[in-house]
Amino acid sequence: MVIKYQNKLNIPITELEQSAFCQDGSNFRTKTLEEEFKSGVRWQKIPTRYLKLSPEEIKTSIKEIKKSLGEKVIILGHHYQREDVIEFSDLQGDSYLLSKLASETKDAEIIVFCGVHFMAETAEILSSSKQKVILPNMAAGCSMADMASSNDVIRSWKQINDMLPSKSSKKSVIPVTYMNSAASIKSLCGENNGIVCTSSNANQAFEWAYQRGERILFIPDQHLGRNTAVNYGIDKSEMVIWDPYKPNGGLTKEELENTKIILWKGHCSVHTRFSVEQINKAKKDYPDVNILVHPECTNEVVSEADYVGSTEYIKNMVHNAPAGSSWAIGTEINLVKRLAHTYKDKNVFCLDEMICPCSTMYRVHPAYLLWVLEGLVAGYVINQIQVEDEVQKYSKLSLQRMLDLPNK
């Protein structure tokens, strides 16, 4: 769902809702679902009895049901989930690790994916045909993924290829999509000699793509694409931004011909909040601080950071850091708070003093997890994720290319 303005710019509602959950950090806690609904953002409808359940009542019920379901059900939890969802997850990770785990999870009949829609789609694509994947709240999308609609990407892909016909044995353009995209976009990549990547393996995906093509169309996060390209050794003068709301992306044929990477105009609502000013303040407050950020941050922030890496990289850096060290982190607050709580012998804090969790990930309230688990006990599969056969076929191809990349 989008809000349409007269200039034809479509702003995803998930982007506009990002600030709804921002807090000053003094009272960052899970409320009843009834209280959460007052935030004014979209929530999937749920039976009314779940609205007033306290966090304690929900926790007790989930524990009992999980025990009764046993190994029939496995719960995957993304690192950005709130703590009272993560505590019930059997496996945790970032989008890459959870994709890998989903492909290896063969025993459980049901995979409950506590994450966002594109992650659950990926689990459905990579799991066996005998398994069912559930997303507790169908409103848990991704503002970044929403910035690359299927229709816009398909139309843009055709325009780019019309402007850049292949002139050698190499393809003119190789599509590379970030994991944070719909299955239909992954399918387009699979069908057109492309690949999926995550922030963990974007550099390897670039190497794979440049072996096969002259340039890359990177969808949908311009910042991860730019930061990876800079790290790969591509000059910024060889990068252009494709704006799907302008004719031919707002670019001339000459501009496209002289580029090495075409960056889709998209971004992460969480990671673009971090700034150089925040880094400077952290360094002033703690002169020995280590600045550790996610590559979805802007290039200005990444350039000023001491360490840059995926969610798993951030987690491992803090884990391996010496006691007494200070870490100012630029990523989603639930992970930062979890790291600070886990590693109390280190000074771990978020670069942004205003706590703004991922508004879409935040929709997986524990009450929704309880709802789908109780449904299973009653014999109902609520919120099953299903991907069309044709889309699944080509998506699986592009995802498998990613999973086959060498680990570095």
Chain centroid, CA 275 distance in Å: 20
In the chain, where are the structural domains located?
Answer: 33-38+48-140+360-389, 146-269, 271-350
**Half-sphere exposure (Cβ direction) of 360: Cα atoms closer than 13 Å:** 25
**Tell me: the pLDDT tens digits for 217-274?**
999 999 999 999 999 999 999 999 999 999 999 999 999 999 999 999 999 988 999 9
3-state secondary structure of 261: strand
Predicted structure pTM score: 0.88
Q: How far separated are the first and last CA of the chain, in Å rounded?
A: 39
Tracing tokens 């992954």 back to the chain, one arrives at: 186
The correct CATH number of 271-350 out of 3.60.20.10, 3.40.710.10, 3.40.50.10800, 3.50.50.60 is 3.40.50.10800
**Cβ proximity of 326 and 288 under 8 Å:** yes
Polymer length in residues for the chain: 408
**In CATH, 33-38+48-140+360-389 is 3.40.50.10800:** yes
CATH code of the domain occupying 146-269: 3.40.50.10800
Rounded average pLDDT over 354-375: 84
C-alpha 250/C-alpha 272 separation (Å) is 23
pLDDT band at residue 17 under the 50/70/90 scheme: low
pLDDT band at residue 4 under the 50/70/90 scheme: very low
C-alpha 308/C-alpha 274 separation (Å) is 13
Evaluate whether 146-269 and 271-350 have a shared fold.
yes
**Tell me: the pLDDT tens digits for 315-343?**
999 999 999 999 999 998 889 999 999 99
Return the bridge partners of 134, or none. 112, 384
Segment holding 184, helix H or strand E: helix 183-191
Longest dimension (CA), the chain: 64
What are 247's two structure tokens?
Answer: 């004719």
H helices of 92-142, where? 95-104, 117-126
